[in-house]
């Protein structure tokens, strides 16, 4: 099963980009034994409209067009489900067991995600009720995907 991240906006070269890349590379190595692959970020442009609602609608169109056919969609949203790392690992494992082609994790830009897109996602996840910069959310998600692969592998990285 392919695991991918769709994100609005581009990260500049720097520590966030390097850390995200490192976690996704690690996830690719440990996930292989469980039929998990991909582990890549696809960056999409921010909308150009003046109003935030219009920008989010433009970005939602771009995001919908980038989602793979048959992929389960997971929006990162402050109002989403609060799960632990074991729960995320189980969610990924269930997707693989159902022979899904993939899961796409969607991160909005500075304005967030369009409400219609959020409603259409198969699942909504939250990293807490705090507002996080979208750059850090990428790193946190990449780390959690890596952590999920280590949980599935029985690797000692996860010591909860």
pLDDT in tens, 43-98: 999 999 999 999 999 999 999 999 989 999 999 999 999 999 999 999 999 999 99
Beta partners for residue 104, in sequence order? 4, 73
CB 19 within 8 A of CB 141: no
Interacting residues of 145 by C-beta distance below 8 A, sequence separation 6+: 3, 23, 24, 27, 31, 39, 92, 105
Q: What is the pTM of this model?
A: 0.94
Q: Which two tokens stand for residue 142?
A: 């990449």
Please name each of the domains of the chain with its CATH number.
Answer: 2-153 (3.40.1280.10)
Cα-based distances in Å from 17 to 5, 10, 86 = 13, 10, 25
């Amino acid at each position: 099963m392919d695991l991918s991240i769709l994100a609005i906006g581009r990260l500049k070269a720097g520590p966030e980009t390097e850390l995200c890349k490192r976690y996704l590379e690690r996830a690719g190595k440990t996930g292989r034994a469980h039929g998990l692959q991909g582990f890549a970020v696809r960056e999409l442009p921010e909308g150009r409209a003046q109003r935030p609602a219009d920008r989010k609608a433009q970005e939602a169109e771009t995001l919908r067009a980038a989602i793979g056919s048959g992929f389960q969609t997971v929006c990162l949203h402050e109002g989403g489900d609060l799960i632990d790392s074991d729960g995320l690992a189980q969610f990924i494992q269930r997707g693989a067991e159902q022979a899904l082609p993939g899961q796409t994790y969607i991160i909005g830009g500075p304005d967030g995600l369009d409400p219609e897109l959020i409603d259409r996602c198969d699942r909504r996840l939250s990293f807490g009720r705090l507002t996080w910069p979208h750059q850090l959310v990428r790193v946190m998600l990449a780390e959690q995907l890596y952590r999920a692969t280590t949980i599935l592998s029985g690797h000692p990285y996860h010591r909860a």
